[in-house]
Amino acid sequence: MELIDGKYRLCGGIDPLELCRQYGTPLYVYDASIMERQYRRLISAFSYPKIRIHYACKALTNLAVLQFFQRLGTGLDCVSIQEVQLGLKAGFSPEEILYTPNFAALDEYAEAVRLGVRINIDAIPMLENWSLHYRDIPICIRINPHIKAGGHDNISVGHVDSKFGISIHQLPHVLRIVESQGLHVEGLHMHTGSDILDVDVFLRGAEILFEVARKFPDLQFIDLGSGFKVPYKPDDIETDVEELGLKLSQRFEAFCQEYGRKLKLILEPGKFLVSEAGYLFARCTLVKQTTSTVFVGLDTGFNHLIRPMFYGAYHRIVNVTEPNFKPRIYTVVGNMCETDTFAVDRRIPEVVEGDILAFFNAGAYGWMMASNYNSRPRPAEVFIYKGKAHLVRRRETLDDLLATQLPFEDW
Ligand SMILES: *Cc1c(COP(=O)(O)O)cnc(C)c1O
């Protein structure tokens, strides 16, 4: 979204205020052209020809978005059987889906086997189960290289006491099971967590995986996960994907030479592909001045965008209604009966009741982490494709909140 002649405009010149009038607030809006820009930027950073991007769809699983990525030509990374089912519904073929759950029950894996998707094993007991039930089904193994990367403890998944992956220190045990049971390992995987700021940290993880790969002669692919950081504020540091593409292509090419075959190189970004493509629009319900602070209150809260409270994430906030007023200093809060502060001491053009504010970078982990806390419905979603806006999820109603409840009458 850009300022054009003093007014905010979405892709195709769409007026966001018009969308808010039409569909109400709060409202999530996604711009497909930004998703495509990110995909092309990533893929063209790599000279290695057998590069594949798997969209990590937990970031945003609206069917329109999944279908869009399917058409662009990505694969899919799914962390639950429901994401697998959504991916298949969106048209992905099973071979293009990697199922990477954590602490999923065996019957979820059984369903994944039935659906024919690729399966990523991330625990030794599950590997043992595999040899009992599905010895002939090829697997990928998720290795935890214990590279400490990540912007926040909750999203840093590579460190030593992380629950993700099989520790690199347990590799001898893994090899024993694989060899004695004759398991067919077709892939190796790592995902060290979000927010990789340093390309060399990422490459260190890759190096560890290459070392492991030498022990598995039948590999088809190596999946290096994600952790690509996008800018959330002006001049923010972001992962230098061009540098990564250059260095990793060279290194991977050399590794394959040594391995004897050109393997598929998979990356599975979520945030990188969809974060900047999404906005959350909300209406100011009240401006409230206390002795020390001016609060801008919105018709949304951490029930709709929890990242600021959960991760301490910074989201840029603008006044869409009055972008040209003199900025004032505000604390922006939600309408939950709970402390839900989006931003403290933020400079925003003067806000009055009824103004529409926009959160940037709301495409990834925005709607997906929304809840019905305080019994408020979740927002509608609009998808902008080729310069036209389409409603792809309606706003919830009280009936939706009641839909799964069963009457209790045995008083
Ligand atoms: C969440 C997740 C990703 C995507 O992470 P981003 O930070 O959104 O890019 C990739 N792979 C796996 C296994 C994940 O769980």
Q: Pick the last residue of a domain from 246, 272, 298.
A: 272
Q: Look at residue 205 and tell me if it is in a domain.
A: yes
Residue 361 phi, psi (nearest 5): 55, 40
Model confidence at 288, pLDDT cuts 50, 70, 90, reads very high
Residues with catalytic roles:
337
Q: Pick the last residue of a domain from 211, 237, 272.
A: 272
**Is the entire prediction scored with pTM above 0.85?**
yes
Q: Look at residue 243 and tell me if it is in a domain.
A: yes
In angstroms, the Cα distances linking 250 to 29, 220, 238, 257 are: 38, 19, 22, 11
CB of 297 shorter than 6 A to ligand 1: no
Looking at the structure, tell me whether residues 184 and 59 fall in a common domain: yes
Residue 68 phi, psi (nearest 5): -60, -45
Range of the domain at 325: 2-29+275-402
Q: Look at residue 409 and tell me if it is in a domain.
A: no
Looking at the structure, tell me whether residues 246 and 330 fall in a common domain: no
Looking at the structure, tell me whether residues 117 and 71 fall in a common domain: yes
Looking at the structure, tell me whether residues 236 and 296 fall in a common domain: no
Residue 255 phi, psi (nearest 5): -60, -45
User: Residue 237: its pLDDT value, please?
Assistant: 84
With a CB cutoff of 8 Å and minimum separation 6, the contacts of 402 are none
Cα–Cα distance between 110 and 118 in angstroms, integer? 12
Looking at the structure, tell me whether residues 232 and 350 fall in a common domain: no
CB neighbourhood size of 298 (10 A): 28
Q: Is 253 helix (H, G, I), strand (E, B) or coil?
A: helix
Mean pLDDT calculated for residue range 381-394? 98
Model confidence at 238, pLDDT cuts 50, 70, 90, reads confident
CB of 152 shorter than 6 A to ligand 1: no
CB neighbourhood size of 135 (10 A): 11
Looking at the structure, tell me whether residues 154 and 226 fall in a common domain: yes
Task: Quote the strand ranges of 316-404, DSSP E.
Answer: 317-319, 327-333, 341-349, 356-359, 380-385, 388-393
Which of 190, 189, 193 is closest to 150 using CA atoms? Answer: 193
Looking at the structure, tell me whether residues 36 and 25 fall in a common domain: no
Q: How many distinct structural domains can be found in the chain?
A: 2
Cα–Cα distance between 101 and 142 in angstroms, integer? 10
* Ligand 1, pocket-test mutation among 103, 189, 190, 191, most atoms within 8 A of CB: 191
Q: Pick the last residue of a domain from 230, 245, 272.
A: 272
Residue 272 pLDDT exceeds 80: yes
Looking at the structure, tell me whether residues 131 and 266 fall in a common domain: yes
Looking at the structure, tell me whether residues 52 and 22 fall in a common domain: no
Q: Look at residue 407 and tell me if it is in a domain.
A: no
* Ligand 1, pocket-test mutation among 76, 122, 188, 194, most atoms within 8 A of CB: 194
Q: What is the mean pLDDT of the chain?
A: 94
Q: Look at residue 411 and tell me if it is in a domain.
A: no
